[in-house]
Every structure is written in structure tokens, then in C-alpha cells.
Structure 1
Amino acid sequence: MLFTSFEFILAFLPVVFAGFFLLARFLGREAAAMWLAAASIFFYGWWSTTYIPLLLGSIVFNYTIGYVISKYREAQSSIARGALILGVLGNLALLCYYKYSNFFLGEIARALGADAPALHIILPLGISFFSFTQIAFLVDAWRGQAREYSFWHYLLFVTWFPHLIAGPILHHGQMMPQFRDPEVYRIRSRNLAIGIALFAVGLGKKLMIADPISMYANPVFHAASVGQEIGFIAAWVGALAYTIQIYFDFSGYSDMAVGLSMLFGIKLPINFNSPYQARNISEFWRRWHMTLSQFLRDYLYIPLGGNRNGETRRMINLMLTMILGGLWHGANWTFVMWGALHGFYLCINHLFQKLTEKLNLKGRLPEFITAPASVLLTFLVVVIAWVFFRADSMPAAQVVLGGMAGFQMDKDWVSIFKGLSAISFGMYLLVSMIIIWAFPNIYEVLDLLLDKLKIQSAEGYRVASAVCVSAGILCAALIGVSMVSTFGTNNISPFLYFQF
């Protein structure tokens, strides 16, 4: 079920919201938690009920393994260690079967010169996210940082509908204290205001920017996939359009997920923090898909050795982490290349930082020159990497990159962008880049507004009231315009991260 759909906004969300707080008041917190878990499973099964047993089976398996780890971690560590290995391998095996079977079989068959057997496997929605969430739980249980005996709370932790399909990747310790907190089960106007504001902004990003501009990215990458030549202008239009699309699509989903969760009094970790404002690629990864970056750092990069074994090993660990992070996104060499590129970027950035410190170059040029130049360079290399992320195949990516480099002659605009206006694209690009580079993000705005609301004076209260009323009107208008803009059209599409 899409967050942007009428059935979600007008039916599912109001019913689940009302049921949660009514059950909490009259039947208790356990009944309310069970209601949310049941609603989350219904949400997951809206598209297809086929994989609900798989999801529930994974949850029961990991809950049992986590219980064994917690029980025997100190008394009989060998049992706990064996359970941890079994749990992690079980999750990885499930993920590999559904996500990578055809890819690996195809590569083996290609190497042997044989025909690859076709396995008709449909990728379960959100399998990467609920698998990684539960792997983190098992590792945290082994470290003594997670201990769970309530099955219903664990079920809700994994299936919680705002995050289930496309993240953020949650940690047990972030969620369990909230499910036990009595304050979560009471309606709070502050939570409602913040939740609605975040949902409205996320909805606007998705429906008013990401979906419309995707119409300029899709024709370019489709033409490249069938071997059509892509000229310089068309290639850059397609690459920039996808760069903007994935930014506002994923940013919009992340805002909506945090906002929806806040309506119920539950705080999700922020997963997106203006990454295109980053001045280097390391900062980009501290701002983009933040929970995945933290997961890769804590459960892959550091266990591999991190930066503890010299510079060469550090570079190898960075490359391995990013290549595996790319492969996590999908079973295609394009994702591997995307991850490898970002690994290479991180290595170059690290070496550059060391060289700058060694030669004492930091501060030699004024900030007003270095800051925008750094942001622009980081943005450029990210755009290049996105070409591999979006392309259907390596040859298709090479066609688009060749066009961006000017290796192919420009074709007529109409031959690729049938019925699409170049002026409209220019307006989308201009507005998007102003929002990305000149405006604070919604979390910065909310922090500022909440600080203003703390003013303890008559004048302060009048300002606070005016701010609240204005923000409420703006959010209502944004939701209304977003929904009307897509009414009767076919522009609404699933969030891009649903496929991962």
C-alpha cells in the first residue's frame, strides 16, 4: 500500500490511528501494540498475501534465535555463538535465495558457456530491510545490547508499517523502550503537529517533484537499454532528472515514515539529512540513507578491521564495504559498480584529506570559494555514480555516460522526450536545486519553530499561535495540492526503495 494513495490516507491511516488509541485507553497497551502489529501485517499484505507467511516465519525464527542468544550468552557462550551464526546465516540465505539466485546462476552459466536455468522468483517487498533489521537484533543480543521477551513487541518492531517496506533500518534498543512507554499510548497534540507536517512535506516531495521529473529520466535510460544513441544534452537531462527523482523520492519517503510514526508517538531515526549539501563523499554518506550507512559501518566495516590495521587495509575495507553495500541494493553488476565507485570516491577523499593536513593546505583558500566548489564537485561525482544505479545494464550505463562525455552526437529532443517540454524540465531543475541547496530541510525548520514556541511571554505566545496556524494551513494546502495534482492521472509510482 502506497503512502501516497487515497486508500492509505483516507481509510487505512484513520482507522489504524483511531483503533490504536481507543484500544490503548479501554483494553490496555498490549492490545494496542497487537493492533498495530496486525495493521502492519495487513499493510504488508495489501499488494499480495503470498509472502506474509515468509515474513512471519522470519520473525518467529529470529525471535527464537534471539531468545536463545540472550539466555545462554553468559552461562554457555558456545550455544549462544552457535545460535548467532545460525541466525545470521539463515537471514543471509533467505536474502540470497530471493534476491540473488538468478544473478549468481546466470553468472555461473555464462562462465561455463551454458544456458542459465530461470527461477521464477518474485522478490518479497522489503526483504532487505527486515532481514538487516533482524541481523542487527541478533548481533546486538550477542553483544548484550538487546534482550526481548515480548513476542508482540518484537513482531511490532519488525513489521512497524512506516519503516517495513523501505526503511529506515531499526535497532532493537531504539524501539523497545518506546513500546513500553505509557506516554506513547496517549494522543499528544505536539506529536500530531510534527507528524502531519513531516507527512505533508514528504507527500509534496514525492507527488509534486519526484514523480513528474521521473518522466524525463525514464525515456533516456529506456533508450540506452535498447541500444539507442544518447546525445550530450539528453544524457545530462536523464542523469540530472534521476538524481533529482531519487533525492526527492527517498527524502519524501523518509519524511513520511518519520511523520507517520510520530502520529503514534513513536520516534524513528532520521534517515535523510540534505545529502546534496555535503562537501565531500564521506559527509554525503553521513547524510544519505543514514541508517544503512551506520549498519554498514557497525556490522561490516568495523568487523572487517576498519582503520585499525594500516592505510592499505583501510582502503580495502572501504572498497569491500561499499561493494557489498551496492550489491545489497540489487542483483546486478550496475549496483556493484555503483558501490565500487563510491568506495573509490571514499578512498580518494581520505587520501586527499591526509594530503591536505600533511601539506597544511586547509584554510589557504577562502571559505566562500572552497565551500560551493566542494559541494558542486561532490554533487557531480554522485550524479555520475547514479547513472550506474539507474541503468538496466552496464552497456546501458556506458551509453548514457558516453553521451554525458559528448562522445555521441545530439539527437532531436522529440525522438526521446516525446511530448515533454524542455522549459518544464528547466523549471523543475531550477526549483529542485534551489530547494536542495538554498533551503533548510524540514527537520531544521521544525527545530527552529519548536525553539520559537518555547518563548515564555505574551508576545511569544501570540507569535507561537500565529506560527502554528500558518503551519497548519500550509500543511493542509500542501496535502491537498499534492493529492489534486495526481487525481485522475497515472503519475503516481511506488517509492524507488520498494524494489530493494
Structure 2
Amino acid sequence: MINLQPYSNPRYFIILFIALLPLIIGLYFGRRFKIYEAIISLLFLFLMFDGKDAIQGYQLIGYIVFQFILTFAYERYIRSGKNKTWVFYLVVILSIIPVTIVKIAPHIPDPTADLIGFFGVSYLTFKNVQVLMELRDHTIKKVDPITYARFLLFFPTISSGPIDRYRRFAQDYNKAPERDKYIEDMRLGTRYIFQGFLYKFIIGYVFGTLWLPQLAKYSIIYGNINGGLRLSWALLGYMYCYSMYLFFDFAGYSLFAVGTSYFMGIHTPMNFNKPFISKNIKDFWNRWHMTLSFWFRDFIFMRFTFFAMKKKLIKDRNRLSQASYFIDFLIMGFWHGLTWYYIVYGIYHALAIIINDIWLRFKRKNRKKIPHNKFTEAFAIFLTFNVVCFSFLIFSGFLSTLWFGWK
């Protein structure tokens, strides 16, 4: 049996197209073969976790069972007319315990610690916590077990997103699109997949495989004659090259997931929207990894803001938004991993967006004194691009490699 990682090579796409062909024909004629779709999803998940990754497959099964018990027990509790805050906090904490263990495990001095966790545990947790929160808010009245299972185990997006929302997914899943709309879906799906090939296997390959190792080789830190430190100019090239690689590799993967979803009649949301033309850091987070950014905005930033306003923790609105940004991005940093560079990455973006808000308020008060033209817009894009690229240099962890290499 073969181990088939998502979108890893052309063979995957050949197998994928053959497997999806009956589903495509059915959707073209206005029918969604849900049983066949479920079988195909389970087959691809089985192939993903076959062989040496079998233990991850067992963990995935246990995780899904655990989250099902938690979600439907909470749904029954909410439908009984009860809505205690402590119960909500408890189920959310229980829901995130698996991903917390996965993030902590690599830092435990145990040779078996790296066996804990499976592809996509973070993204599944985002989906499940979203459902729990919307059950509490009554924006989700009832969760259908079959639709919920398909939502969690939707194989095109299971390993790295994009992060969909239950209500949006259920709306697509529970009907077949009209023929004209599905033809347009196939056109877009084809475009996204070929664009993904360009991004991931050509441009991403050039930046990540051909150029990045060479730039890393020459990005050294060494002592000068006075005993200080000096950076090679290649480090600047590494920063830009890694930023481009990160975007094209991740955006390519996301396009594969979105394109495959469209062939299945599911409009998985896009993850990127020309992030490197952003005019400020807030604009950047409305364009970069959008499903993650919007998830944190809706379920971390907004909820903490409403909680703090209700409890009157911070009266000044500007200070409140700054505290919310800091908590939002700090949690995002910890979510990426319990290493200093991920945490600093989160703090860096929190400070950047706070400074940006201060500047925008100052700009509004002095709009007549501050020029606004094509040059200032171009400078804003240039500045934002460099601020973002430096954050990606932090995110890469490469500075740790350089520092310890010098030490």
C-alpha cells in the first residue's frame, strides 16, 4: 500500500481526478453522490495515514470520536435551554487539549514525544471550536452528525486548510449546484489547480530549493576585528527569498485545496489575496492566510473585546483594541509553536498593528497636513512589504541557526 500525501506530486493529482470523476459527472447532472463522496474521502484519508504514518491515523480516529462526544453533548446541553458560561469554557478547554498536547510534546525530553499528533490537528480544532462557539451564540441551532463528520474530514483541506465554517460548508454540501454554476466551478477549479502548480512546483521550487539554500550558506554572522558582530548582506536576500518561498508554497497548496473543493461542488474560501500589495499591516492580515486571520478576528479578538467591554476591564477604546490585538497575535504565535521565534513573531505583528492604528488615528486628525498621493501609497506598500518580510525572517527560525552557529 502506498502513502499518499496531499498534493505532493503529479501522481496524487492523477489518482485524485480518477477518484473524483464519478462525483464530477453526478454534479454535472445535478446529483450529489454523498455515499460515494464519503467513501472517496475515507480512502484518501486512509492512504494519507498508511504505512509509517498509521499511528497518526489512529490518533485522528480517536480525536474525531472525542470531538463528536464533546460537540453533541454540548449541543444537547444548549438545546435543553441551559447556557452556563463555565460549561462553555470547560468544553472549549477540553476541545483544545489535544492540540495543546501536540504543541507541548516536541519540548518533552521523551523519544516517543514526536509520535504525538497528526496532520491537520490544528485546523480540525479551529473548526470544532468554531462550532462550539456558534452553538453557544445560537447562530448554529442544530448540528447534523453526517454533515459534521464530512465538515471535519473534508480531505482536500484537512492537513493545512483553508479553514471553512460549518454553516457555509453545510449550505454547499446539502445541495447540488445548478449546471451553469457547476461548469463555472470546474473552470475556476481548473484555473486554481494550474495556478497552484505554477506557485508550488515552479516558483516555489526556484525560491525554496534552488536559491534559499545558497543564500542560507552565505548568510553568516561572524566577529569583526573589534570583536563585534556583522551580518552578511546575503541575510537580506535570505529574508526576501524565504518570504517569497513561504507565500508561493503555501498559496500553491491552498489553491490546490480550493480547486479540488470546487470540483466537489464545495466553495472552500480563498486563503490569499495579493498580500504583498498591502498598504498597511492591517490590510496585510485581510489578505494573508485569510481564513486563519478571520478566525482569530471573530473568535479571539472580537470575543475578548466584548468580554472586556462587558466587564469594564479597559475603559479606553483605543487601549482596549490594543490589548485585544496583543492577545490575538500572542495566541497566534503560541499556536504556531512553543519556540521563541514563533512567539516573537506574534508579538512583532501585535506591535506592528498597534503602531499602525496609532498612525492611522494621527493621520485622520492631520489629514490636511499629511500628503496622500501615488508616491505615498507606493511607499506604504514598500514599507509594509519590508515589515512583513522581516517578520517572516523571524518566523523562519533562521536567526536561531545563525546565532548558535556563531556561538
User: TM-score range with shorter-chain normalisation?
Assistant: 0.7 to 0.9
For the Cα contact (< 8 Å) 1:332–1:393, is it kept in 2? Answer: no
Query: 1:450 matched to which residue of 2?
Result: none
Residue 302 of structure 1 aligns to a residue in which SS?
A: helix
User: Cα gap change, 1:313/1:183 in structure 2, threshold over 3 Å: closer, same or farther?
Assistant: closer
Higher relative contact order (CA 8 A, sep 6+): 1
Q: Is the contact made by 1:51 and 1:124 (CA closer than 8 Å) also made in structure 2?
A: yes
Aligned counterpart in structure 2 of residue 16 of structure 1, from 11, 14, 19: 19
Q: Give runs of aligned pairs for residues 31-50 of structure 1, distance below 5 A.
A: 31-46=35-50, 48-50=53-55
Mapping 1:165-176, distance limit 5 Å: 165-176=159-170
Are the equivalent residues in 2 in contact too, given 1:40–1:160 (CA < 8 A)?
no
Letter in 2 for 1:290: M
Report the equivalent of 2:194: 200
Asked if the contact 1:33/1:152 (under 8 Å) is kept, the reply is no
Q: Which residue of 2 aligns with 1:90?
A: 94
Q: Give the match for residue 61 of structure 1.
A: 66
Q: Secondary structure at the match of 1:365?
A: coil
In 2, the alpha carbon distance for the partners of 1:289 and 1:163 equals 14
What TM-score results when the alignment is normalised by the length of structure 2?
0.85
Q: Is the counterpart of residue 315 in structure 1 residue 309 in structure 2?
A: no
Matched, 1:354 2:361: yes
Shift of 1:361: 4.4
The C-alpha deviation readout for 1:232-270, integer Å capped at 9, x for no partner, is 321111111101101111111122211111111110111
Q: Which residue of 2 aligns with 1:340?
A: 347
- Structure 2 letter corresponding to 1:63: F
Please say if residues 132 and 169 of structure 1, whose CA atoms lie closer than 8 Å, have aligned partners that are also in contact: yes
What residue number does 1:469 align with?
A: none
- In the other structure, the counterpart of 1:218 is 213
- Structure 1 contact 391–397 (Cα < 8 Å) conserved: no
Q: Deviations over 1:108-160 (max 9, x none)?
A: xxxxxxxx556532342111111111111111122222245543322211111
1:292 counterpart = 2:292:
yes
Q: How does 1:453-492 map to 2 (within 5 A)?
A: none
Take 1:324 and 1:29, find their aligned partners in 2: how far apart are those partners? 40
Trace 1:299-448 onto structure 2 (pairs within 5 A): 299-305=299-305, 308=309, 309=314, 310=316, 311-361=318-368, 364-392=370-398, 394=400, 396=402
Going from structure 1 to structure 2, the CA distance change for 1:375 and 1:187 (only over 3 Å counts) comes to closer
When structure 1 is superposed on structure 2, of 23-32 and 89-98 the one drifting more is: 23-32
Which stretches of structure 1, 4 residues or more, deviate above 6 A after TM superposition?
A: 22-28, 184-187, 222-230, 397-400
SS of the aligned residue for 1:66 comes to: helix
CA distance in 2, matches of 1:62, 1:225: 47
The amino acid across from 1:218 in the alignment is P
Distance in 1 of aligned mates of 2:147 and 2:305: 34
Q: Which residue of 1 aligns with 2:226?
A: none
Q: Where do 5+ consecutive residues of structure 2 fail to align? A: 224-228
- Aligned with 1:89: secondary structure? helix
Distance 2:320 2:278 in 1: 26
Give the match's secondary structure for 1:305.
helix
The amino acid of 1:340's aligned partner reads I
CA–CA distance in structure 1, aligned partners of residues 181 and 401 of structure 2: 54
8 Å contact kept, 2:221–2:231: no
The alpha-carbon deviation at position 97 of structure 1 amounts to: 1.1
Structure 1: distance between partners of 2:149 and 2:31:
19
Letter in 2 for 1:370: T
Partner Cα distance (1:188, 1:145) in 2: 28
Q: Matches of 1:208 and 1:260 in 2, distance apart? A: 20
**2:145 paired residue among 127, 141, 151:** 151
Which residue of the partner structure matches residue 129 of structure 1?
Answer: 123
Kept in 1, the 8 Å contact 2:30–2:176? The answer is no
Rounded Cα–Cα distance in structure 2 between residues aligned with 1:156 and 1:230: 53
Distance 2:220 2:131 in 1: 40
Secondary structure, counterpart of 2:354 in structure 1: helix
Given that residues 223 and 230 in structure 1 are in contact (C-alpha distance below 8 angstroms), is that contact kept between their aligned partners in structure 2? no
Q: Distance in 1 between matches of 2:62 and 2:89?
A: 18
* Residue 218 to residue 321, structure 1, CA distance change in 2 (3 Å): farther
Q: Cα distance 1:273–1:165, how it changes in 2: closer, same or farther (>3 A)?
A: same
Match of 2:283 in 1: 283
Distance (Å, rounded) in 2 between the aligned partners of 1:392 and 1:192: 40
Equivalents in 2 of 1:365, 1:322: separation in Å? Answer: 31
- 2:13 maps to a residue whose letter is I
Question: Hey, what's the Cα distance between the residues in 2 that align with 1:39 and 1:254?
Answer: 21
